[in-house]
């Protein structure tokens, strides 16, 4: 019997060793020193997605003053070759990548500031974007979000119009040729929009930050891609960006808002019914121009990063899991960082920081040092399954023999 218990213990140990591949040590400093790559035209925004289907995340950088986007393809190890550039229309302020035409590769949606239209650029599958169509929206479209808004599994677009008091919604029939925009009233001078399920009914609602009226507007989805305005939240002067995440661990869509006037961010917690409470305010670097939210240290809680133009820094706030945050931890990056985003660039399973350097004509990368686990390989899954089966088999044999011995007594 002792031998059987030893075998069981050995199997359990082997299983633990297999499963231990998903644990990660903590690091005092979360991100490395920044490295940079040239990008033309005063980069206003940087985003990452696998554009050529090789399994590695590439970069798209908006050259705001040169009316173009730069595509930098990943060599597979987190380094990049020379950029390829594509005309993107006047003042492309951001680029969001999603599969818009259902062909399996990732296309681009871009608001063209100081116009009344957005650009949709289709990917040919190789990471080249030679086709561009425009769609009329409100005045000075500055920001947009891409999400399924009418529950048909296709990606739709919501546009924040900086010189209007409405958000423009363009529904996608599935082929990437969008229906005409429909406007829904918000506060004045929209600077950003974010799509998320705020009331728990399964469809994506909208939040907008309105600099003119100094409010955050919540618009609830009727389920078909039409919206009704629920409430405006007034916090203080100068709202610029709004971004969503789950900050207190309850699964409801919470919000974070930058305030470049007060050099801070506000955290708004959701009660699950799209009722928000201003829970915290945190100081950032000077003039937080952009923010991102996602799990940066692999603890399953969404953290926050801001790009601070006047101090040339990125501020990182790590979540405590209860709606409050530690930090900030500041990283000096470049001159005039206009945006920050996070995605796994080097394939090690954790999210690296990406920063658009407006004055320096570069895209900067700060690699994550937290050693988050990569997705287990087939071999690793095989070891885990083997360990589980082995434990089950030994336990079964032990119990069967013990029952047989007991029946003989």
- In this prediction, residue 94 has a pLDDT band, given cuts at 50, 70 and 90, of very high
Q: Cα separation of 387 and 127, whole Å?
A: 41
Closest CA to 355 of 326, 395, 314: 314
Write the burial class of residue 99 (CB in 10 Å: 0-12 exposed, 13-18 middle, 19+ buried): middle
pLDDT score, position 236 = 73
Lowest mean pLDDT among 138-152, 235-249, 283-297, 370-384: 370-384
d(CA 397, CA 394): 5
Q: Residue 327 CA to chain centroid, in angstroms?
A: 20
Q: What pLDDT is attached to residue 6?
A: 42
Mean pLDDT of all residues in the chain? 89
pLDDT at 404 (0 to 100): 60
In 3D, which of 388, 298, 315 has the Cα closest to residue 353?
Answer: 315
CA 259 from centre of chain: 20
Q: For residue 48, what pLDDT band results from cuts at 50, 70 and 90?
A: very high
Find the mean pLDDT for residues 39-64: 98
pLDDT at 83 over 60: yes
Q: Which percentage of the chain shows pLDDT scores above 90?
A: 79
Q: How many CA atoms lie within 13 A of 327 on its CB side?
A: 27
Distance linking the first and last C-alpha atoms of the chain: 16
The predicted pLDDT at position 20 comes to 38
Here the tokens at position 104 are 């399996």
| Angle at CA of residue 140, ends 137 and 142, nearest 5° | 95
Distance from C-alpha of 137 to C-alpha of 143, rounded to nearest angstrom: 12
Residue 331 has pLDDT above 70, yes or no: yes
pTM assigned to the model: 0.85
* pLDDT confidence band for 402 (50 / 70 / 90): low
Q: What confidence score (pLDDT) does residue 390 get?
A: 67
| Cross-strand pairs, 281 | 266
Predicted pLDDT of residue 385: 72
402: Cβ contacts below 8 Å, ≥ 6 apart: none
The residue to which tokens 């029939």 are assigned: 173
| pLDDT above 80 for 388 | no
């Amino acid at each position: 019997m002792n031998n059987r218990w030893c075998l069981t213990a050995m199997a359990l140990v082997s299983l633990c060793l297999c499963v231990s591949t998903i644990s990660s040590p903590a690091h005092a400093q979360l991100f490395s020193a920044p490295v940079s790559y040239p990008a033309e035209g005063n980069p206003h925004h940087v985003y990452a997605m696998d554009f050529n289907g090789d399994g590695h995340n590439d970069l798209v950088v908006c050259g705001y003053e040169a009316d173009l986007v730069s595509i930098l393809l990943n060599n597979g190890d987190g380094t990049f070759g020379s950029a390829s550039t594509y005309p993107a229309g006047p003042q492309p302020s951001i680029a969001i990548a999603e599969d818009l035409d259902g062909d399996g590769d990732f296309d681009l949606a871009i608001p063209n500031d100081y116009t009344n239209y957005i650009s949709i650029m289709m990917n040919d599958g190789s990471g080249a974007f030679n086709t561009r169509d425009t769609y009329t929206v409100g005045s000075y479209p500055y920001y947009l979000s891409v999400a399924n808004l009418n529950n048909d599994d296709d990606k739709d677009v919501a546009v924040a119009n900086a010189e209007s008091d409405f958000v423009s919604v363009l529904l996608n029939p599935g082929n990437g040729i969008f229906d005409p925009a429909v406007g829904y009233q918000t506060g004045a001078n929209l600077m950003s929009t974010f799509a998320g399920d705020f009331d728990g009914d399964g469809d994506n609602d909208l939040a907008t930050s309105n600099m003119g009226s100094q409010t955050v507007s919540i618009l609830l989805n009727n389920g078909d891609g039409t919206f009704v305005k629920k409430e405006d939240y007034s916090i203080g002067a100068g709202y610029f960006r709004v971004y969503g995440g789950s900050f207190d661990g309850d699964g409801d869509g919470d919000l974070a808002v930058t305030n470049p006037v007060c050099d801070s961010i506000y955290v708004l917690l959701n009660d699950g019914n799209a009722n928000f409470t201003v829970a915290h305010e945190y100081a950032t670097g000077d003039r937080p121009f952009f923010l991102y939210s996602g799990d940066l240290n692999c603890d399953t809680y969404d953290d926050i990063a801001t790009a601070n133009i006047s101090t040339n820094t990125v501020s990182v706030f790590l979540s405590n899991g209860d709606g409050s945050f530690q930090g900030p931890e500041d990283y000096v990056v470049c001159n005039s960082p206009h945006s920050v985003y996070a995605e796994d660039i080097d394939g090690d399973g954790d999210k690296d920081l990406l920063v658009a350097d407006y004055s320096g004509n570069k895209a900067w990368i700060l690699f994550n040092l937290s050693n988050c686990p990569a997705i287990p390989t087939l071999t690793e899954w095989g070891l885990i399954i083997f360990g589980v089966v082995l434990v089950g088999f030994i336990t079964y044999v032990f119990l069967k023999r013990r029952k047989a011995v007991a029946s003989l007594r």
